[in-house]
Structure formats: C-alpha cells, structure tokens
Amino acid sequence: MNEGPYTHQASDSAYHFTAAALRAGHEIVRVFFYHDGVNNGTRLSVPPQDDRNVSERWSELANEHGVELILCVAAAQRRGLLDEDEAKRAGKDSNNMAPGFQISGLGQLIDAGIQADRLVVFGD
C-alpha cells in the first residue's frame, strides 16, 4: 500500500480488496504500508463523523483476522509515525500508531512476497 488515506483511492481500494479476499476465505498474512501509505497507520486522524475512519477500519480488520499491518520504518520515521520504542529511541515524548500496526523493515515485504501466491500493489 503506497498511498495515504483521504488523498488517493488506493487506500480504500486496498482495504476493500483485503476485506473481500478474507471474506472469500483467502489467507492474507500481511499488508505492508510504504511511502505515504504509512499514514494509514496513525491513531491521530479525526475524520468527520459522516466519513470513514481509515485507520480504525484497518485496525479492526487486523484484530478480527490476525492480519499483520506493517509500516515501513524509514517511511514512517520520515513522516513522524512512531511506535513507543521508536519514539523513545528518537527522544520524542509520544507515539501515534493506531492499534494493530507495527513498524518494521523492507524485509517484511520481501518475506511476504516469498510466502504469498500473489503480491498486489495499490498506489503509485
């Protein structure tokens, strides 16, 4: 997932694709968020009440189906997305990752590509 929420259709398309595949009985082990896609993992977004909450939707999907939601560490740090450990390491006073999201490296993307029958990319 290479695009952020609310600015590009790719984020919604990736979510709906993933949810539909899981409902159809397919196994999805991991979704890797890269470039601006890491912005899907913030817990600080506050969309209007009549709009979807993209981060919450991903968090709920991960919780219900055990899907790993991985934010690329380099892309996340550049954009100020930090888990508790990364915040401490960087000397920051708080973290902002939504539940169910984890920070890791590109090795997780490579591993997913090796394990999976298909690798689907959303966004530019």
- From the candidates 28, 61, 72, 73, give the one annotated as an active-site residue: 72
Please answer whether residues 22 and 58 qualify as being in contact, where contact means their C-beta atoms are separated by less than 8 angstroms. no
Angle made by CA atoms 19, 64, 57, in degrees to the nearest 5 = 55
Q: Is 72 an active-site residue? A: yes
Angle made by CA atoms 118, 28, 47, in degrees to the nearest 5 = 110
DSSP string over 4-35? -TTT-HHHHHHHHHHHHHHHTT----EEEE-G
Rounded distance between C-alpha atoms, residue 73 and residue 86, angstroms: 9
The catalytic residues are 72
